[in-house]
């Protein structure tokens, strides 16, 4: 039974995927390449270093012109297929066995891309990736790499558009559980599975003919501690990955406040929240705001209306980086309330499978 199946089968266990920073979009061209025996990386695991420090890495093979790429970006006609090669690297000093599984791309809550594991039947672009090893890929320690060739096959009658899947590397053997702490009554243990995912972006049809279209379907006010926030609901009704940048302007008691808006990538047919810190906006008030975001090929997205700003909270929040904020609690535990998405490549992700064990006092 694979790890994904085991996750689905374990009762009372919760799984959380925590992703690190994303990367910018790059183009790549890939040529078919035959698999070879593991080989030591020249001068250390240079290209394989896109992964988890001290564990393993996953990166596309060099393109036909020798260019390095950070994720796969393939153009495939409906009903056709291409082959590509991913490089698996052992970044540790010890022998490691790694399993490769497909993942499906999705839009994170605040934009950007995340990758969801397949726990049952494959779905969407994850079904297009075939030919990955059924068993584990075993690599000696010391920066060894192994090229793995796979096939991406687009089903017939697939509508033109851009689609996102992924390939995830996981350890073949589960590490030992670790303790996350105890409050004297109940303790929490976790099995932490390090993983790394490389994106497989597929464009079906003529890219220049694909329509990019974003829309705003409402803006909601909120408060992060004592700081007001604008939560902009952005929907992608087009056929391309789309992101943009612009400005939100709000009037409050005769004063104009302007804020930069970053609309992270939204996949076709999906939606996300563009969150904007808006210091200076009053609590318990309704303000008028106008939003302008440029995206695509010089396209302009606009919205205007009233936004209700609630009262602030005495809760203390700490930035965890990459758009994530953690609410600290008096008991010493903390909870993550918002996680910014990463873009097309998840570097250094971990699966945390946790369960609570009661500890009864004698």
Task: Assess whether 252 and 302 both reside in one domain.
Answer: yes
Mean pLDDT computed over 12-40:
31
Task: Assess whether 83 and 65 both reside in one domain.
Answer: yes
Mean pLDDT taken over the chain: 77
Instruction: Check residues 362 and 74 and name the one with the higher pLDDT.
Output: 74
Mean pLDDT computed over 95-124:
90
Report pLDDT digits (tens) over 214-268. 999 999 999 988 889 999 999 999 999 999 999 999 999 889 999 999 999 999 9
- Overall pTM surpassing 0.85 (yes/no): no
Is it the case that residue 82 has pLDDT exceeding 70?
A: yes
State which of 165-174, 230-239, 319-328 shows the largest mean pLDDT.
230-239
Task: Look at residue 346 and tell me if it is in a domain.
Answer: no
Token pair listed for 341: 């998405």
Determine the pLDDT at residue 7.
36
Token pair listed for 56: 């393993």
Determine the pLDDT at residue 230.
97
Is it the case that residue 357 has pLDDT exceeding 60?
A: no
Task: Look at residue 348 and tell me if it is in a domain.
Answer: no
Q: What is the CATH number of the domain that holds 160?
A: 2.60.40.10
Task: Assess whether 43 and 146 both reside in one domain.
Answer: yes
Alpha helices in the chain (DSSP H): 3-9
Task: Assess whether 154 and 303 both reside in one domain.
Answer: no
Determine the pLDDT at residue 35.
32
Alpha carbon distance 219, 350 (integer Å): 33
Asked which of 175, 191, 208 is the last residue of a domain, the reply is: 208
Token pair listed for 334: 């903390």
Is it the case that residue 32 has pLDDT exceeding 50?
A: no
Range of lowest pLDDT (25-34, 260-269, 341-350): 25-34
Mean pLDDT computed over 90-109:
92
Contact 57, 196 (CB under 8 A): yes
Rg (CA), the chain: 23
Alpha carbon distance 252, 279 (integer Å): 12
Alpha carbon distance 324, 200 (integer Å): 25
Task: Look at residue 82 and tell me if it is in a domain.
Answer: yes
Tally of domains within the chain = 2
How many other CB atoms are found less than 10 A from the CB of residue 11?
5
Determine the pLDDT at residue 316.
54
Determine the pLDDT at residue 319.
54
| SS3 state at 139 | strand
- Domain holding 285, by residue range, is 210-309
Mean pLDDT computed over 13-28:
30
Closest CA to 248 of 214, 213, 275, 212: 275
Report pLDDT digits (tens) over 269-308. 999 999 999 999 999 999 999 999 999 999 999 999 999 9
Alpha carbon distance 33, 85 (integer Å): 6
Alpha carbon distance 265, 111 (integer Å): 5
Task: Assess whether 157 and 259 both reside in one domain.
Answer: no
Alpha carbon distance 359, 362 (integer Å): 9
Task: Assess whether 252 and 181 both reside in one domain.
Answer: no
Residue 93 binned pLDDT confidence (cut-offs 50, 70, 90): confident
| SS3 state at 5 | helix
Residue 29 binned pLDDT confidence (cut-offs 50, 70, 90): very low
Q: How far is C-alpha 178 from the chain's CA centre?
A: 25
Token pair listed for 239: 């056929």
Task: Assess whether 230 and 91 both reside in one domain.
Answer: no
Mean pLDDT computed over 131-155:
93
Task: Look at residue 148 and tell me if it is in a domain.
Answer: yes
Determine the pLDDT at residue 184.
72
Task: Look at residue 234 and tell me if it is in a domain.
Answer: yes
Residue 182 binned pLDDT confidence (cut-offs 50, 70, 90): confident
Contact 98, 122 (CB under 8 A): no
Alpha carbon distance 295, 288 (integer Å): 23
Task: Look at residue 67 and tell me if it is in a domain.
Answer: yes
Contact 278, 231 (CB under 8 A): no
Alpha carbon distance 78, 287 (integer Å): 48
Q: If phi over 0 gives left and psi between -120 and 50 gives alpha, with beta otherwise, what is residue 5?
A: alpha
Alpha carbon distance 147, 85 (integer Å): 6
Percent of the chain scored above 90 by pLDDT? Answer: 52
Asked which of 173, 208, 243 is the last residue of a domain, the reply is: 208
Contact 103, 132 (CB under 8 A): no
Task: Assess whether 26 and 79 both reside in one domain.
Answer: yes
Task: Look at residue 331 and tell me if it is in a domain.
Answer: no
Owner of token pair 């945390």: 352
Is it the case that residue 146 has pLDDT exceeding 80?
A: yes
Is it the case that residue 210 has pLDDT exceeding 90?
A: yes
Task: Assess whether 41 and 182 both reside in one domain.
Answer: yes
If you ran DSSP here, which 8-state letter would residue 332 be given?
S
Mean pLDDT computed over 150-175:
94
Task: Look at residue 314 and tell me if it is in a domain.
Answer: no
């Amino acid at each position: 039974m694979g790890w994904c199946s085991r996750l689905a089968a374990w009762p009372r266990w919760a799984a959380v995927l925590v992703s690190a920073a994303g990367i910018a979009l790059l183009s790549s061209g890939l040529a078919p390449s035959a698999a070879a025996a593991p080989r030591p990386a020249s001068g250390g695991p240079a290209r394989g270093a896109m992964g988890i420090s001290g564990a393993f890495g996953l990166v596309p093979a060099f393109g036909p012109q020798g260019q390095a790429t950070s994720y796969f970006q393939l153009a495939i006609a409906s009903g056709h297929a291409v082959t590509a090669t991913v490089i698996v690297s052992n970044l540790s000093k010890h022998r490691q066995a790694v399993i490769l599984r497909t993942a499906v791309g999705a839009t994170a809550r605040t934009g950007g891309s995340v990758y969801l594991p397949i726990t049952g039947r494959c779905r969407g672009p994850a079904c297009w990736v075939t030919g990955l090893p059924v068993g584990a890929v075993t690599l000696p320690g010391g920066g060894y790499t192994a090229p793995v060739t796979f096939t991406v096959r687009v089903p017939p009658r697939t509508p033109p558009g851009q689609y996102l899947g992924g390939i995830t590397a996981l350890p073949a053997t589960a590490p030992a559980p670790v303790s996350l702490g105890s409050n004297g009554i109940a303790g929490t243990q976790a099995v932490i599975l390090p993983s790394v995912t490389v994106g497989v972006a597929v464009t079906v049809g003529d890219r220049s003919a694909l329509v990019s279209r974003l829309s705003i379907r409402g803006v909601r006010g909120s408060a992060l501690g004592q700081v007001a926030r604008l939560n902009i609901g952005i929907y992608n009704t087009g056929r391309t990955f789309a992101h943009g940048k612009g400005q939100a302007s709000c009037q409050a008691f005769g004063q104009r406040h302007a804020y930069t808006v970053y609309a992270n990538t939204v996949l076709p047919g999906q939606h996300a929240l563009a969150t904007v810190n808006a210091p200076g906006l009053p609590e318990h008030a309704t303000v008028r705001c106008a939003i302008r975001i440029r995206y695509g090929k010089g396209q302009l997205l606009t919205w205007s209306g009233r936004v209700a700003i609630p009262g602030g909270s005495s809760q203390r929040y700490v930035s965890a980086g990459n758009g994530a904020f953690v609410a600290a609690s008096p008991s010493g535990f903390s909870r993550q309330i918002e996680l910014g998405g990463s873009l097309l490549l998840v570097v250094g992700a971990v699966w945390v499978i946790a369960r609570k064990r009661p500890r009864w006092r004698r």
